[in-house]
Copies of this chain bind each other. A is one copy, B any other.
Amino acid sequence: MSPRSQKQIEQIRSQSIKKILDAAFELIAKHGYEATSISQIAKSAGVSKGLMYNYFDSKEDLLKELINNALAEGDRLMKEAISADPSETLKNIFVWFFNELRKHPKQWRLITELMLKIDKFEFVSEVAKRKMGDYVVFIAGLLEEIGFPNPKEEAQLISGLFDGIGIQYLVVHQDYPLDEMETYLINKYCNY
């Protein structure tokens, strides 16, 4: 019995948790929440099914953690977009959005999928409401600084556009004029 220090234990814990969360995110983003089983996640993470219940109360709880992690990551990236010039900042946001969509379409799929399950997962609804509001306010501020007319309404439009373009790109994929839309939106809103 080698007694492990508190620190070692904590390290092991966070390592296992990370492995589980990574595997879960990968699989759930790819196949959807319902279509991904606990067994699959455990196998992919290289841990036992039992261990998962050591760290997460349930499959739903695991999802919750997943979402929170992803949102925190999203916030971090959003902050990097901020520049002194509001046009520049808005452009960065557009570029960031389109690149995310190109590189991680499955993650967008997951976010959208979950937003539709508001009556099953209340926490998703809560988080989404808050985030959505924040973004709209932030973008509205940028548009106002830029001097774009009707900044509040246009910010709401842009926010909706992100979700809408996301969905359509997921469905149509190759046939969606992603590059053209990116250029067009940047021209329209940032070179005003």
Q: Give chain A's interface residues, CB within 8 Å of chain B.
A: 30-32, 34-35, 109, 112-113, 115-120, 125, 128-129, 132-133, 150, 153, 156-157, 159-168, 170-172, 175, 177, 180-181, 184-185
Chain A, interface SS category: helix
Inter-chain contacts of A164 with B (CB < 8 A): 159-167
The residue of chain B having its C-beta at the shortest distance from the C-beta of A162 within the complex is B164
- Tell me, rounded to whole Å, the shortest Cβ–Cβ distance linking A177 to chain B: 7
Residues of B within 8 A of A162 (CB): 164
Q: Is the CB of B161 within 8 A of A115?
A: no
**Chain B nearest Cβ from A108, distance in angstroms:** 10
B119:A112 contact, CB within 8 angstroms: no
